[in-house]
Structure 1
């Protein structure tokens, strides 16, 4: 038995040995084949790697050469793979070993920081909220954007008239006398040897400064314009105000506003072209002490925001960086003139662009044509349409009137002829003055909010007097301080808590808006300065109705100020407006006077009291204004008073002068100061352009020259 087991073991062992030998033979044969093929395998692998690397290196070279950069960067990001990243890592590693740090930095910037920044800015700026900041439906900017009229250079003196007066003056200027500048060419110097570092763009509230900034940034982010600029950092003053008390470096400030740039070093390469857009200088609450602040040149060292901004503008911080500042005219004097290389002015819409806007916004051609014709009938309305926001207000109001008229006609089984609709409406339904337009606008927006939130569809408006009082107090107090942007502390000073502000913003989205900035913080403002001025005027009347006091009365003399009448309020407002050096109460005064008329108060029934008879007050304030016109007034103040008379439906002085002009009898007439002012007003608001003003036709005197100076300024030539 044992012997048999030994035999089996020997046989098994022999079998295993034979298999092992055969296996070793096969392995040796396979290894030999593998070794024979290995050279061919690696040769093919080397060819594939080299081909891939050559293609990737060619793409990286084109990126550095700015050839088709947008497409190549997009391709790298969207088709990102471990192989592409490895090729980039190898390239960066070898470039740095070769001491080509500038090329390595440029590649990193383009493929990471610049791309991420462009994506972020495109997302933020591609849509526009017309009239509102965040509520409602957004519209693509490209669908409604209309080019604005921007001119090279403008008067460097501080304007002493209200912005509406500046628009009225600008409407008479001749385009042939001015150099137009395209927004995308702001930093292109007309002379080859001149470099433009800092551009200041002025324009009145709502004229389109921020929209121009939005279009400029969006075109860059989409790769359409100004691709020689590496980074664009839009820094609105209204948001930077929230950082007023913080000490931080310039790089920290950039990272707070643009987190995707964390790790970026703007000083590591001289080839970087950086643009800072400081939007809304007029909204800045920093002192901007150019003379008092210390010099600061280190982008990594913390300092106050005021120090950072003044040194950035002066060129001590990042001296190679481009700076674009936008502002309302009155705030331009905050900047030292020697800091500005180019001065431009946004004029808003030309007459042709106004019509283009209405036709673009209103797809119904008949409706657009009717609205254009109606606006043209009122000189004051048509002039205001230089401001894009006012075009939007006018379109909103007139479209609503037309649609209501159509609906009523349909209910009564009448055919509605659009070409006759506005003409057939009564005076209340056809706004011809600013006060009427804004009163309709307020009614419409409150009705819309009631329908949206409360399901109310009644023709009368349900007014929330508490809300109007709170918003009105904020509007009036900040108007007196010449502020357009408000923060929590401003609201609290008027007794408005943050929750109520959010409610007001939700209920009155087209009037009052709440904005949350890129950084942590909330801001508030009215949709436009003129809306703030109108709400302030409504508040002044409502305050008088409730308290029998004027908003101008000092609280310390409360007993003496009781039982004030409408005429007391209006006379005080006239005096206050005439005392203002900047004219910041001019439009407020127009609204205040317009709201004293019974016809306009009727539109606000339920909010303002309906007076049985205000004819006497009307006559008294008209006479008071005419007396003021005889005084020694600046041309700007006197012309505004004529607009005030227009709001009061009094045109006796104007018609008297028109009669004299038609008879050609002014040359020998001895006119009073008020009549000379009326001559200026008639000439400035006539339909005919002032190509040539023949001063010699008039009886020349010191009074004549002073009162007609505004006409001389706006005419192409004076004889």
Structure 2
């Protein structure tokens, strides 16, 4: 009896299951048939016309929706494949890391639309490191959502941040989350562009539809983007070489009408072209003013890593817990490294160097200054070259003639283009610096973590250094090498006496503002630096202790001049690169003992006091100016401290 009931129930179950399977298969076959009808109507003869499928509004809408979903699925798959891995400094090397595995959440806040920021980016980083953390941080997935007090979603968001702070990685993570996790599901299509790519189309004319079809083959059957909710990501405005003239009266409203790429972009940003589209523009602060303020709905600022995020990054990057802990402790013990590690790219450079040094048991002399860090970074890359390409042992006691030639050529390029204000180089830029394009490809193949070669959609080549700081270091190294070897002062392009102090005295005033270049230039003059650069420079360097002493005295004299606080602070960092912080130590001791008297402080001592106060958050939480002096003169000297403090009394 029970077995009969069981068989009967099982029979019913299979009948139901068979019905569901048949229905499912029929529906799927119908979907495929409709897609094939659209893509290959000849296969079906006049069947479409006979059935009058396109004549029925509801069927037409279903077909369009199905086709749109198919294109969207293809685009997501393509973008996921493109952005799911991250190459920190090595885009062509092959050893990529899954983005989700290494990604550390970045600190994003609401920013302000401002005029061109002319400060060096390291000054901006140092200023940002002193800012209190805002409770109103913005989550990446919410970057287009209205802020408190706003009543609608922003059409255009501009995200600012210094070089290497993580703007491009943010866009990659946003795209990956959209493709994988369905965040921002109201966005139907995302079209990411970089200005490096768009620069290559500078002299061409095409329509917006043609541009999208050219870059995103998955959309070639779509011609009416006005009916879709799309997001354009325009990454790296600061790298644009397009004449973005927003005063130009040329109006473009038709996405199928051809125009120059700069006209397409200006009309897209203005909202004349695809007014329903959203835009996300990323840029370094200095270039933000290229977009009129009235065209930007919201400005956000990427402030890099907070202190806890730095720790999280190193723990993810360095899987050996003991090594990670030692590296974190070392960074926290150096003010300069601690500040620079707000920049994710610098964290990567630091991890690369320190992990290598700990591996080779060199932890007793870990770098504490920027110059030392970048010298070791160059040494590490040369070791990789020697093992990977030359088949040699892992040692850095000797530099090959080929390595020396490559470094000198890259240094010349770095110096020439730094003077021109260029961070992205095309073939014409390399030719101007005397570098053959074929040689440049060799450089990027050998020193892939220093010099990068990328290819545009038509295989045009674009080159850059992994970070602005690397370009400034190589530029300083090139100037230093030339000065030591030939006595030529490249900054003035005249022959000068071989003294570091002379080089500093003779340089053009603008170089006093080149924040890192000047630090590197002085740090390279130390004999300890030249030990690591053995065989790259002459065996008997002329930069001896007496000349470094002369340089130190000259910098101290300059600090007593009437300089801006930022310039004075930079000179204190220069003294740090020369291992001399005597001015700061004297003031620090008086400050700690409570015996500091500001009545007879010199200009240099006031600058040292400001430097110390700005260096520690304990002075900035609540700054009491009366403790130091109530005079108007003191207020002027410590005004940067007042501005940086959370609360001033």
TM-score, with length taken from structure 2: 0.90
Partner of 2:420: 481
1:574 CA drift (Å) = 7.4
For residues 114 and 185 of structure 1, the distance between their equivalents in structure 2, rounded to whole angstroms, comes to: 21
Partner of 2:399: 462
Distance 1:705 1:294, change over 3 A: farther
1:671 CA drift (Å) = 2.2
1:375 CA drift (Å) = 1.1
Partner of 2:7: none
Q: Secondary structure of the equivalent of 1:275? A: strand
* Residue range with higher mean Cα deviation, 293-302 or 498-507: 293-302
Q: 1:167 aligns with which of 125, 141, 144?
A: 125
Residue 116 of structure 2 is aligned to residue 180 of structure 1: no
Q: Secondary structure of the equivalent of 1:353? A: helix
Q: 2:154 aligns with which of 176, 189, 196?
A: 196
Partner of 2:300: 344
Residue 578 of structure 2 is aligned to residue 653 of structure 1: no
Partner of 1:107: 66
Q: Secondary structure of the equivalent of 1:181? A: coil
Residue 136 of structure 2 is aligned to residue 206 of structure 1: no
For residues 155 and 326 of structure 1, the distance between their equivalents in structure 2, rounded to whole angstroms, comes to: 13
Q: Secondary structure of the equivalent of 2:130? A: coil
For residues 341 and 469 of structure 2, the distance between their equivalents in structure 1, rounded to whole angstroms, comes to: 13
Deviations 1:20-63 (A, max 9, x none): xxxxxxxxxxxxxxxxxxxxxxxxxxx9999748973xxxxxxx
Deviations 1:79-103 (A, max 9, x none): 9855885799999986642335555
Distance 1:628 1:435, change over 3 A: same
Does the 8 Å CA contact 1:666/1:699 hold for their aligned counterparts?
no
Deviations 1:540-562 (A, max 9, x none): 111213332111124xxx5xx35
Does the 8 Å CA contact 2:492/2:506 hold for their aligned counterparts?
no
Residue 604 of structure 2 is aligned to residue 674 of structure 1: yes
Distance 1:94 1:171, change over 3 A: farther
Q: Secondary structure of the equivalent of 1:320? A: coil
Distance 1:246 1:612, change over 3 A: closer
Q: Secondary structure of the equivalent of 1:264? A: coil
For residues 524 and 291 of structure 1, the distance between their equivalents in structure 2, rounded to whole angstroms, comes to: 31
For residues 21 and 605 of structure 2, the distance between their equivalents in structure 1, rounded to whole angstroms, comes to: 88
Distance 1:706 1:91, change over 3 A: farther
Deviations 1:317-354 (A, max 9, x none): 11111000001111112111111111111111111111
Does the 8 Å CA contact 1:358/1:368 hold for their aligned counterparts?
yes
User: Where do 5+ consecutive residues of structure 1 fail to align?
Assistant: 1-46, 57-75, 406-420
* 1:183-582 matched pairs, under 5 angstroms: 183-190=140-147, 191=149, 193-267=151-225, 269=227, 272-292=228-248, 294-405=250-361, 422=363, 425=364, 429-457=365-393, 458-463=395-400, 464-554=403-493, 561=495, 563=497, 565-573=499-507, 575-578=509-512
For residues 253 and 38 of structure 2, the distance between their equivalents in structure 1, rounded to whole angstroms, comes to: 37
1:564 CA drift (Å) = 5.3
1:231 CA drift (Å) = 0.8
Partner of 1:67: none
User: Where do 5+ consecutive residues of structure 2 fail to align?
Assistant: 1-17, 42-46
Larger Rg: 1
1:593 CA drift (Å) = 0.8
Does the 8 Å CA contact 1:149/1:180 hold for their aligned counterparts?
yes
Partner of 2:644: 714
Does the 8 Å CA contact 1:151/1:179 hold for their aligned counterparts?
yes
TM-score, with length taken from structure 1: 0.81
Partner of 2:532: 603
Q: Secondary structure of the equivalent of 2:386? A: helix
Q: Secondary structure of the equivalent of 2:525? A: coil
| Count of residue pairs brought into register by the alignment | 620
**What RMSD, in angstroms, separates the aligned Cα atoms of the two structures?**
2.7
Q: Secondary structure of the equivalent of 2:464? A: strand
Residue 593 of structure 2 is aligned to residue 637 of structure 1: no
Distance 1:287 1:184, change over 3 A: same
1:431 CA drift (Å) = 0.3
